[in-house]
Amino acid sequence: MVFHETVKTPEEERRLVDQVSAVGIGGNIILTAFKLFAGIVGRSGAMVSDAVHSMSDVFATFVAFLGVRMSQRKADKAHPYGHERMECVASLVLGLILLATGLGIGAAGIEKIAAGRWEELAVPGGLALAAAVVSIVVKEAMYWYTRRCAKLLHSDAFMADAWHHRSDALSSVGSLLGIGGAMLGWPILDPIASVVICLFILKVAYDILKDAMSKMVDTACGEDYEKSVSDYIAAQAGVVRLDLLRTRMFGSRVYIDAEIAVDGDLPLRQAHAIAEAVHSEVETRFPDIKHIMIHVNPDDAAEGPEL
């Protein structure tokens, strides 16, 4: 979870959000139109299903854009901890869009298979095959681009959108196999490809929904992450030991409560300065941490009565 790259200013964040949203929405609109045309003219149900999937990507990217923009709003009186969880809401919506899309595509494929008149199924043309190849290349490129931007922005919503692009690329692989098989004399492979596409999409939807839900309920950040933070705090000047560390996800950001022990004979101002230094160093070293609360314990607390 430690990010080594990040955008530096709010202006850079907004510019990158606008840029990745424009690429996602514009690219998906063009791909949807191309794949729908190729699916209809090329007589491929799998490619039409693929076009529907790309159409859902347009809405998904728009939802991700809204979620990120809303999460960037400053804290106010009604939301003193900020709006980061709006990204979780956006991710939940994206997951539900994928779930509905996958079920719809799967249902259409199963209906054709169950009809039993496989020899009557239309054989796709070369245009549908070419559209599948173009879609794989373009959507995989969009996945890697959106994934990188999501990491720079620390954005779960855009990371979910990146996986939406990857699921579309995988569905196009299914389309390619189904269309190619149908052209070689097995038309039943075209609707079978739709069912395979459905399974890929449902798996991605499950992963996105699971991740979003875990971040909505203050889930801890994991042992590896907590160990790296603990070791860093314990190594700071003036810290005798780390007594307690609690982490929780708040949308795409992290909140931490920590207790450190310092020399019990230090003046209050000096002990406070150590805590302030630890606070600043940790938030600088781990940019995904929005806030760390430091409580100071005297190292000799066990030798005297508690107050």
Q: Spelled out in words, what is the top-level CATH class assigned to the domain 223-303?
A: alpha beta
Q: What is the pLDDT of residue 254?
A: 85
Residue 302 has pLDDT above 60, yes or no: no
Domain boundaries, the chain: 10-216, 223-303
The alpha carbon of 192 is separated from its chain's Cα centroid by a whole number of angstroms, namely 29
Q: What is the pLDDT of residue 270?
A: 93
Tabulate helix, strand, coil % of the chain (nearest 5).
70, 10, 20
Interatomic CA distance for residues 57 and 37, integer angstroms: 17
Mean pLDDT of 148-176: 81
pLDDT tens for 94-108 read 788 878 878 887 887
Mean pLDDT of 70-77: 71
Residue 8 has pLDDT above 70, yes or no: no
Q: Out of 67-71, 139-143, 289-293, 296-300, which region has the weakest mean confidence (pLDDT)?
A: 67-71
Burial 172-200 (b: 16+ CB within 10 A, else e): bbbbbbbbbbbbeeebebbbbbbbbbbeb
pLDDT tens for 13-65 read 778 888 888 888 888 899 889 888 888 888 777 678 778 777 777 777 777 77
Q: What is the pLDDT of residue 240?
A: 92
8 A C-beta contact, residue 84 and residue 252: yes
Banded model confidence at residue 281, pLDDT cuts 50, 70, 90:
very high
8 A C-beta contact, residue 154 and residue 82: no
Interatomic CA distance for residues 176 and 56, integer angstroms: 20
Lookup: tokens for 65: 């854009």
Mean pLDDT of 73-90: 70
Average pLDDT along the chain: 80
The residue among 98 and 303 whose pLDDT is bigger is 98
Interatomic CA distance for residues 208 and 214, integer angstroms: 10
Encoded amino acid at 10, one letter: P
The residue among 174 and 252 whose pLDDT is bigger is 174
* Kind of pairing between the strands at 289-298 and 241-250: unpaired
Does an H or E element contain 297, and which?
A: strand 289-298
Q: Which of the 8 DSSP states describes residue 266? A: S
Which CATH number applies to 10-216? Answer: 1.20.1510.10
* Residue of 12, 296, 258 lying closest to 153 (CA atoms): 12
Interatomic CA distance for residues 107 and 92, integer angstroms: 22
Lookup: tokens for 305: 């009565």
